[in-house]
Structure 1
Amino acid sequence: MAAFAATRCVFLARVHLILCSTAVYAQLSSTFYDTRCPNPLWNDQLSSTFYDTSCPNLLSTVKSAVKQAVATEKRMGASLLRLHFHDCFVNGCDASILLDDSCSIQGEKNASPNANSVRGFDVIDTIKTQVEATCSGVVSCADILAIAARDSVVELGGPTWTVQLGRRDSTTANQSAANTNMPAFTLNLTGLISAFNAKGLSTQDMIVLSGAHTIGQARCSSFRNHIYDESNINTTFSTFQKYNCPTSSGDDNLSPLDVKTPTTFDNSYFKNLRSQKGLLHSDQELFNGGSVDCQVTTYSRNQKIFFTDFAAAMVKMGNISPLTGSNGEVRINCRKPNW
């Protein structure tokens, strides 16, 4: 039996590697993978059916709340997606970003990449309250973040994917890690690749996840140097941006990351990069005569490939170091631990 099991694991591992290189992998992985075989990419304690019995209306509840929030403010879709990203890059996808400061916790909300920037906390609070009304103490805030991010993308016209569930919530935050782990808008291509690699994400993952900048906005302070001091930018585009971002004022003035279709999730972001219309320095680094130019070109020409790869990368990102089993807790209030 042991020999048979070992042979079976080897066979499934080979098939698993084949699936990794195909578009169907993102859709099949949650049901195909045999949990008796080690899997280096996916956390086999997460499951798309985790709440099917304990909270059967979870997905419809989150979807309805996200739909209403995005209808009220289109920008909220990008905010909820970004909230999930900023959570996962600091100690894993554990909802630590949602914790408020307290006597015992120095929260991540006031870390440099997040302060006066990340938003959508009220929407998550609303969803949590609605979920608690029917499934008290069952669904984690971390899972709500993951579902809300997916539903936000779909609501703005982007792809869908199967969200793996079963994460638990942290009881503490890590402001120091939030200050150092988030990829900065000042990074060059090498720095971006390294920042994503450190989280188990590939160069392709980095490129395709950057495509999330097809929605959302950035503050003047984050792109001022790019539009005034750098040459790899379309002159008409930079002149236009300078009206909203003067040299010495207007730090908090907002501009869309995708000037063409700022509230639609599509592949325009990559088209913009090829025209040197990336708003952030780190955006334009993806198409600046470097090793990833060809991948940007592929996504700019084929939205279907972008959508497929983005969905797969989001599942992969959502599996960064989750707390599962008896680790962590299921917070009753997403803003504070239960103790």
Structure 2
Amino acid sequence: MDSKFVLKFFLPISIMLLLSGSADAQGLKVGFYKKTCPNAETIVYNEMKRVISVAPSLAGPLLRLFFHDCFVRGCDASILLNSTKNNVAEKESPINLSLRGYGVIDTIKAKLEKACPGIVSCADITALVARDAVYLSKGPSWEVPTGRRDGRASLIAETRQLPAPIFTFQQLKASFAQKGLSVKDLVVLSGGHTLGTSQCSFFSPRLYNFTGKGDADPSLDSEYVIKLKNKCKPTDTTKLAEMDPGSFLSFDTDYYKIVSKRRGLFSTDSALLQDAETRSYVQRQVKASNPREFFKDFGVSMVNMGNTGVLIGKQGEIRKNCAVVN
């Protein structure tokens, strides 16, 4: 692993001690594989470095895989499971159909199985991949507490737990609170929209039929509505739009500048301006001379989310293949 990865943007020791204590309470700890698979994180990082160098657009989807996993059943890699004859899995849900990067997870898992058979969980791989995707996109790094085990179930019906792009602020706040996440976590993790793209179908109702009368969402900048309409026709279901135009491959604070201009793609982006706490955070990042605060906060919130509903000890299993139960 290169020296920059070790040194650049790691959280201050005092913060890491706080995070480690929180993680230990969940049964996770930094360096969980130190004795059983000492090169685990290096193997993940080296493969991610190769992937992002040839396919930088995968960073956003790989980050969202972790988010979509943790919000359903907790961070147990249920998002990675394939459907079976008797069950339709989470990945088949309309809200998950645009996710990509499953092959990256599978490749990393195969390399880890070769190095340390039956040791590293798919849930931990997903968490480490999300961290490395951010770092390799010019973002921060943070220490990831590990020790998660993999779940044995994945149900499409449970994807209703995921925050929908049309959520109001109160719905969004309640969704995060159910996972033990704060309003600050909400606004910080929303900053992950600085990476990647969205299918037009996820936000086109804001452009063409917001209230059912063929109108546009008034919270969306009217000039931006025109630009988005030129890109996305009402029937477009696969066409993509950048969530952070001009900067969607770089992890930075530009997302907050876009939100402040009322140009966030989703209703949930606009909702950040409706609450005093989240609006203040957005405005602070717009005015900031550097991304230090956001970078630090993002690492903290990712660890917080990564503690959600984890399986530990003898719970669950360590899948040999991330797409199927053992």
> Do both proteins adopt the same fold according to a TM-score greater than 0.5, normalized to the shorter chain?
yes
Displacement of 1:121 in angstroms is: 0.4
Q: Which moved more, 1:41-50 or 1:65-74?
A: 41-50
- Provide the C-alpha distance between the structure 2 equivalents of 1:90 and 1:44, rounded to a whole number of angstroms: 17
Question: Which residue in 2 is equivalent to 1:7?
Answer: none
Give the secondary-structure state (helix, strand or coil) at the position aligned to 1:218: strand
Checking the alignment, whether the CA contact within 8 Å between 2:253 and 2:294 is kept in structure 1 is yes
Question: Which residue in 2 is equivalent to 1:54?
Answer: 36
Displacement of 1:30 in angstroms is: 5.1
Displacement of 1:218 in angstroms is: 0.7
- Structural mapping, 1:286-325, within 5 Å: 286-288=272-274, 292-302=278-288, 303-325=291-313
Question: Which residue in 2 is equivalent to 1:275?
Answer: 261
- Provide the C-alpha distance between the structure 2 equivalents of 1:197 and 1:23, rounded to a whole number of angstroms: 27
Using the size of structure 1 for normalisation, the TM-score is 0.86
- Structural mapping, 1:157-306, within 5 Å: 157-178=138-159, 180-228=160-208, 229-247=216-234, 249-288=235-274, 292-302=278-288, 303-306=291-294
1:28 aligns with 2:17: yes
Q: Which amino acid aligns with 1:312?
A: V
Number of residue-to-residue matches in the alignment: 307
Q: Which amino acid aligns with 2:228?
A: Q
Q: Which moved more, 1:249-258 or 1:139-148?
A: 249-258
Displacement of 1:236 in angstroms is: 2.5
Using the size of structure 2 for normalisation, the TM-score is 0.90
Checking the alignment, whether the CA contact within 8 Å between 1:91 and 1:174 is kept in structure 2 is no
Would the alpha carbon gap of residues 202 and 242 (structure 1) be closer, same or farther in structure 2, given more than 3 Å must change? same
- Provide the C-alpha distance between the structure 2 equivalents of 1:98 and 1:264, rounded to a whole number of angstroms: 25
- Provide the C-alpha distance between the structure 2 equivalents of 1:78 and 1:304, rounded to a whole number of angstroms: 20
Look at both structures and tell me which one has the larger radius of gyration over its CA atoms.
1
Q: Which moved more, 1:294-303 or 1:206-215?
A: 294-303
Checking the alignment, whether the CA contact within 8 Å between 1:26 and 1:311 is kept in structure 2 is no
Across the aligned residues of Structure 1 and Structure 2, the Cα RMSD in angstroms comes to 1.7
Q: Which runs of 5+ in 1 are unaligned?
A: 1-21, 34-38
1:109-162 deviations in Å (ceiling 9; x for gaps): 112311x21111000000000111110000000000000000000000111111
Displacement of 1:26 in angstroms is: 3.9
Checking the alignment, whether the CA contact within 8 Å between 2:169 and 2:275 is kept in structure 1 is no
Checking the alignment, whether the CA contact within 8 Å between 2:169 and 2:274 is kept in structure 1 is no
Question: Which residue in 2 is equivalent to 1:333?
Answer: 321
Q: Which amino acid aligns with 1:198?
A: Q
Displacement of 1:43 in angstroms is: 3.5
Would the alpha carbon gap of residues 289 and 101 (structure 1) be closer, same or farther in structure 2, given more than 3 Å must change? closer
Checking the alignment, whether the CA contact within 8 Å between 1:168 and 1:323 is kept in structure 2 is yes
- Provide the C-alpha distance between the structure 2 equivalents of 1:158 and 1:216, rounded to a whole number of angstroms: 14
Displacement of 1:304 in angstroms is: 1.2
Question: Which residue in 2 is equivalent to 1:94?
Answer: 76
Q: Which amino acid aligns with 1:222?
A: F
Question: Which residue in 1 is equivalent to 2:5?
Answer: none
Displacement of 1:173 in angstroms is: 1.2
- Provide the C-alpha distance between the structure 2 equivalents of 1:44 and 1:320, rounded to a whole number of angstroms: 9
1:184-210 deviations in Å (ceiling 9; x for gaps): 000011111111011000011001000
Would the alpha carbon gap of residues 293 and 23 (structure 1) be closer, same or farther in structure 2, given more than 3 Å must change? farther
- Provide the C-alpha distance between the structure 2 equivalents of 1:314 and 1:251, rounded to a whole number of angstroms: 30
Would the alpha carbon gap of residues 105 and 251 (structure 1) be closer, same or farther in structure 2, given more than 3 Å must change? closer
Q: Which runs of 5+ in 2 are unaligned?
A: 1-10, 209-215
- Provide the C-alpha distance between the structure 1 equivalents of 2:13 and 2:189, rounded to a whole number of angstroms: 18
Q: Which moved more, 1:283-292 or 1:93-102?
A: 283-292
Would the alpha carbon gap of residues 297 and 100 (structure 1) be closer, same or farther in structure 2, given more than 3 Å must change? same
- Provide the C-alpha distance between the structure 1 equivalents of 2:116 and 2:194, rounded to a whole number of angstroms: 35
Displacement of 1:291 in angstroms is: 5.0
Give the secondary-structure state (helix, strand or coil) at the position aligned to 2:37: coil
Question: Which residue in 2 is equivalent to 1:18?
Answer: none
- Provide the C-alpha distance between the structure 1 equivalents of 2:24 and 2:163, rounded to a whole number of angstroms: 23
- Provide the C-alpha distance between the structure 1 equivalents of 2:108 and 2:278, rounded to a whole number of angstroms: 38
Q: Which amino acid aligns with 1:262?
A: F
Question: Which residue in 1 is equivalent to 2:211?
Answer: none
Displacement of 1:70 in angstroms is: 1.4
Give the secondary-structure state (helix, strand or coil) at the position aligned to 1:113: helix
Query: Of residues 89, 93, 97 in structure 2, which corresponds to 1:111?
Result: 93
Checking the alignment, whether the CA contact within 8 Å between 2:30 and 2:144 is kept in structure 1 is yes
Checking the alignment, whether the CA contact within 8 Å between 1:100 and 1:335 is kept in structure 2 is yes
Give the secondary-structure state (helix, strand or coil) at the position aligned to 1:142: helix
Displacement of 1:104 in angstroms is: 4.4
